Amino acid sequence: MPYHVKMFSYVICQHPSCQKTAVSNYSKDTKTLSTHEYCFEHSPIASQIEEYIYEYIKSNDKIVGLNASGISFQNLDFTNKRFYGCNFYGCTFRNIHSENLRSRMSMFDFSIFSDCNLLGSNLQFTSFAGATFSHILFTNSDLVHNNFCGSHILQSSFDDSDLYNSRFIRARLQNTSFRNCNIKKTMFFEMSQENVSFKLSNTREALFSKEIDYESLF
C-alpha cells in the first residue's frame, strides 16, 4: 500500500547566506501550522518558536509536515505520536519517554538521542543518518526500511525488533544488542563494532560484506 505523505516545506531561511530550511510555526489561536521565515538558529523569536512547536506536538497525535530542525526536546512524552514527512534534522532528544511511536518518511539525520525510551516504535522509511544514540531502548519495535548509515550507537538495545531491509553502513556500534531480531537484508557492512550481540537473530540473512548480490535484494 503506497504512502501519500505531505512533506515539510523546503523554504530557505531568509538570513543572508543561510541555506537551512525555515522551521515551522504554530498558531495557538487558529491551531494551524505554517512556515516561519527563518531557520531555528537565525530566528529572532527562536524561544517562542520552540514553545509553539512543543505545544503543537503535545496537542496533536498525528503530526504531518512539521519542520523542527535544530530544536531540542527534553523530558517529553511522545507515546502514541504519529509523525509523517517531518524534519528533525540536527535535533537533540534527551530523556524522551515513548511507547508506540510511529514515523513514516521523516528525517532525523545528525540528531542526538540520549537516555530515551522508544519501546514498541513503528518507524518505516525514516532516516537517522549520522545520528548519535546513547542509552536508547528500541526494544520490541518495527524498524523497517530505515537508514542508520554513519550513526554512532552506544549502550542501546534493539532486542526483539524487526529491522528488515534497514541500513547500518559505516555505523559505529558499541555495547549494543540486536538479540532475537529480524535482520533479513539489513546492511551492516563497513561498520565498526565493539561488544555487539546478535544472539538468536537471523545473521545468515543479513549483509555484513560489501560483496553483495544485489539481485537477491529484490
CATH number assigned to the domain comprising residue 132: 2.160.20.80
Domain membership of residue 86 (yes or no) is yes
Q: What is the pLDDT of residue 168?
A: 98
Q: Is 5 exposed, middle or buried (0-12, 13-18, 19+ CB in 10 A)?
A: middle
Q: What is the pLDDT of residue 190?
A: 95
0.75 exceeded by pTM: yes
Q: What is the pLDDT of residue 209?
A: 83
Q: What is the pLDDT of residue 29?
A: 83
Domain membership of residue 19 (yes or no) is no
Residues of the chain predicted below pLDDT 70: 1-9, 210-218
CA distances for 218 relative to 3, 105, 113, 128, 163, angstroms: 20, 21, 32, 23, 16
For the record, the C-alpha cell of 1 comes out as: 500500500
For the record, the C-alpha cell of 17 comes out as: 547566506
Q: Report how many domains make up the chain.
A: 1
Domain membership of residue 5 (yes or no) is no
CA distances for 167 relative to 130, 140, 144, 171, angstroms: 12, 18, 10, 9
Q: Which ranges of the chain would DSSP assign to H, the alpha helix?
A: 46-59
Domain membership of residue 7 (yes or no) is no
Domain membership of residue 11 (yes or no) is no
Q: What is the pLDDT of residue 6?
A: 61
Which residues touch 119 (CB under 8 Å, ≥6 apart)? 98, 99, 137, 138, 139, 140, 141
**Distance (Å, whole) CA 74 – CA 69:** 15
User: Could you tell me the residue range of the domain that residue 176 belongs to?
Assistant: 24-217
Domain membership of residue 16 (yes or no) is no
Domain membership of residue 48 (yes or no) is yes
Q: What is the pLDDT of residue 97?
A: 92
Domain membership of residue 17 (yes or no) is no
